[in-house]
Structure 1
Amino acid sequence: MKKKNLIVFGTRPEAIKMAPLVKAFDQQPEYETRVCITAQHREMLDQVLDFFEIKPQYDLDLMRPNQNLYTLTATIIESLKPVLEDFKPDFVFVHGDTTTTMAAALAAFYSGAKVCHVEAGLRTFNKRNPFPEEMNRSIAGRLTDFHFAPTITSKENLLKENIPVNDIIVTGNTVIDALLFSVNKLNNNHYTDSEIEQLRETVDFSKKLILITGHRRENHGEGFNSICKALETIAKNNPETQLIYPVHLNPNVQKPVYELLRDITNIKLIDPLSYPAFVWLMEKSYLIITDSGGVQEEAPGLGKPVLVMRNTTERPEAVEAGTVILVGTDTKKIVTETERLLNDNYHYEKMAKTHNPYGDGKASSRIVEFIKTK
């Protein structure tokens, strides 16, 4: 009798990081694997599913205007009940630290399935930063049976929480699996993408390209004003660069970014990009300034230095390895560290060529082999 896996995710970053695992289990005839999406993010999620050619068996379609954490959490748990009762999975896989992760882990626990947490063990040990992610992953961790830690540091965090060592395996991060798959697909001469073709016309490749992303809740307000002032200074001080910023749709991001940056010649503000177009743009960039967790893992895999606009990170391995530098939302620090990377070749090369601590692209196969023993 086949063992049953249910792989649950709801946002674009989760979809990117779970896609290689879905592909890996699809190659295992002794497992029946189904995908359930909550669609916590709708349009951005669908783009990733199309790119990786994944068709979910269950689509809860829960995205609503002005959604809040109370209703989203309750709705995910209630909506998963009939899915779990219909499929009766042996293993439920969740990823990372979203509301989908926490709520799906709880629903899976209620159903009696074994909870498998991919990208387990990330911690800042500050329950309000990042909010609500730190508590989402901590709660999921208490409900989890098998923990797939991306790094030794993540494993050590779990051991401090008295998780049994035999229930933890260090796998590397599946985002590197996804990145290597994507770069290979994008470099295939037969692959075409209208967004990438548009970017070819938008980007001035005679200049050093600085890619910006920013969206995190804790930076809304004064944080984004400081970020925008830094970007304005960088652009004006360094006319040989082009800053390209796919602007998140959240009004708390759109308002300050467009008010403060729209008239600066060498800053291009563009719509959010699909995953393949973003990977393509990362590969073309000279350096990246971001507050994204996933980009901290992906960009070093492409040899791109990263400045992280956060005061804390649950990915300290990148800071310790030297592939990223924390700059927070401090205008002066963002400007200083950016200009150092632009002007100091030795410093740039040292960051660009440092070994990526997040893996070798084989995380999914390690997860599959571990589950085969259970």
Structure 2
Amino acid sequence: MIAFIVGTTAELIKMAPVFHELTGRGRNCEIWYTAQHVEELSGTLIDLDLPAPAEWLVPEDGAGNLAKVKDVPGWGLRLLRTVASRRRHLAQRLASDGQPPLVLVHGDTFTAPLGALIGHRLGARVGHVEAGMRSGSLRHPFPEELNRRVAGRIVDVHFAPTETEAHNLRGRRGAVVTTGANTVVDAVKYALARPEGPSVELPAEFAVATLHRFELVRQENQYREVLEILREHSERLPIVYFAGASERARLSSCGLLDLFDGERFRIEDKLNYVHFLPVLARARFVVTDSGGLQQETGHLGIPCAVHRAHTEVMAGEGERFVLTRLDAGRLRGFLDDPERYRSAGTLGTYHPSRVIADAIETLT
């Protein structure tokens, strides 16, 4: 049996195409949930046609979103305590269909290294989807870069998006499979094929902005600076800023909500994935600190400014996107002429979930 150990909505989004590819081939797959995100879970499962978690590795009763760093130790202890108390049951479940047991983890959340450790403790081989991504700095982003490096030392099969990530894994234990691209490309294709349309009224032309990373929003002056630049540019083209509850709370505590005028520079609630992708596909350009959104805009060919100090994916920098390194001048330079970073997109080029499923059939 194949257990997908995931804990966030982003992991579900990027693992959903792999799940569907494997179940479509008759493989027995389950979702085992670590509950880093809880409030968004039910809607995300419905949107992605995924089943409810077969196992909650943190007791479902009392589980809640990890909103702060101080929440992590308690969550980790509950996770390890639950797995330890149910170890025999979980191991039997993994072996229940007579196939070699396999655990798949994803990306760079706390669930990735912990899920890999759990898989090994249960006697399963472990595969890491989106393996080998490196920013080159342990502090940017932290703790994601550390999570990736720890997972890279534990797993048995590394599913690396490109040859760059495969090269980063040289000398590591286990097999390395290059998938050609991140599975987010399959998730984008899936979302755009859904019949649901945008659930927010938008102008004929607009840009999209999202900013949420701790390295930016904890620096009030830098946070204010980038928002003021966006507001200034919205006089040329309306900008829609999508924010979740935690971002709104930060904006309120910093006194920044007054920067939004409700027309040219609007703030809207975050949309679920299948509603957001059609909005994203219409955007003239994007300003974000999200690594996932950076990759989605690249596959769609949409100009993007990545407002971060470092990013894990540098392919296309200066051609399809700009890494601002949190520099206001670089951001303004992008906004002066975002069209120079538009590309043809690559949606029809790659099928990474298919490559992963092919490899799993060979390896197991």
Q: TM-score range by the shorter chain?
A: 0.7 to 0.9
Give 1:271's aligned amino acid. D
8 Å Cα contact 1:6/1:33 also seen in 2 = yes
8 Å Cα contact 1:173/1:359 also seen in 2 = no
Give 1:369's aligned amino acid. D
Asked if residue 10 in structure 1 is aligned to residue 7 in structure 2, the reply is: yes
* Cα distance in 2, alignment partners of residues 318 and 92 from structure 1: 32
Structure 1 stretch displaced more, 108-117 or 91-100: 108-117
Match of 1:105 in 2: 116
* Cα distance in 1, alignment partners of residues 349 and 125 from structure 2: 27
Q: Following superposition of structure 1 onto structure 2, how do residues 177-326 of structure 1 map, counting pairs within 5 Å? A: 177-185=186-194, 191-192=195-196, 196-197=198-199, 199-200=200-201, 203-205=202-204, 208-222=205-219, 225-250=221-246, 251-256=249-254, 258-263=256-261, 265-319=263-317, 322-326=319-323
Q: Following superposition of structure 1 onto structure 2, how do residues 44-193 of structure 1 map, counting pairs within 5 Å? A: 44-55=40-51, 56-59=53-56, 60=58, 61=60, 62-63=63-64, 66=68, 68-81=71-84, 82=86, 84-89=90-95, 90-159=101-170, 162-163=171-172, 167-171=175-179, 172-185=181-194, 191-192=195-196
1:278, CA displacement in angstroms?
1.4
User: Which 4+ residue blocks in structure 1 deviate beyond 4 angstroms?
Assistant: 64-67
* Cα distance in 2, alignment partners of residues 257 and 123 from structure 1: 35
Give the secondary structure class of the aligned counterpart of 2:354.
Answer: helix
1:240, CA displacement in angstroms?
3.3
8 Å Cα contact 2:228/2:259 also seen in 1 = yes
Match of 1:188 in 2: none
Give the secondary structure class of the aligned counterpart of 1:316.
Answer: coil
* Cα distance in 1, alignment partners of residues 348 and 176 from structure 2: 16
Give the secondary structure class of the aligned counterpart of 2:244.
Answer: coil
Give the secondary structure class of the aligned counterpart of 1:42.
Answer: coil
RMSD (Å), alpha carbons: 2.3
Structure 1 residues 128, 18: CA separation in 2 closer, same or farther (over 3 Å shift)?
A: same
Q: Which has the higher helix share?
A: 1
Structure 1 residues 5, 270: CA separation in 2 closer, same or farther (over 3 Å shift)?
A: same
Q: 1:179-203 deviations in whole A, cap 9, x for unaligned? A: 0111111xxxxx345xx24x12xx2
1:256, CA displacement in angstroms?
3.6
Q: TM-score, normalised by structure 2?
A: 0.87
Give 2:342's aligned amino acid. A
Give 2:93's aligned amino acid. F
Structure 1 stretch displaced more, 269-278 or 72-81: 72-81
1:6, CA displacement in angstroms?
0.4
Q: 1:72-113 deviations in whole A, cap 9, x for unaligned? A: 223223334426334135110000000111211111122221
8 Å Cα contact 2:308/2:324 also seen in 1 = yes
Give the secondary structure class of the aligned counterpart of 2:245.
Answer: coil
Give the secondary structure class of the aligned counterpart of 1:16.
Answer: helix
* Cα distance in 2, alignment partners of residues 244 and 317 from structure 1: 27
Asked if residue 23 in structure 1 is aligned to residue 26 in structure 2, the reply is: no
Give the secondary structure class of the aligned counterpart of 1:240.
Answer: coil
Structure 1 residues 145, 237: CA separation in 2 closer, same or farther (over 3 Å shift)?
A: closer
Match of 2:98 in 1: none
Structure 1 residues 238, 127: CA separation in 2 closer, same or farther (over 3 Å shift)?
A: closer
Matched residue count: 345
Q: TM-score, normalised by structure 1?
A: 0.85
* Cα distance in 2, alignment partners of residues 305 and 135 from structure 1: 29
Structure 1 residues 325, 354: CA separation in 2 closer, same or farther (over 3 Å shift)?
A: farther
1:300, CA displacement in angstroms?
1.5
Give 2:208's aligned amino acid. L
Unaligned runs of 5+ in 2: 96-100
Unaligned runs of 5+ in 1: 186-190, 342-347
Match of 2:362 in 1: 373
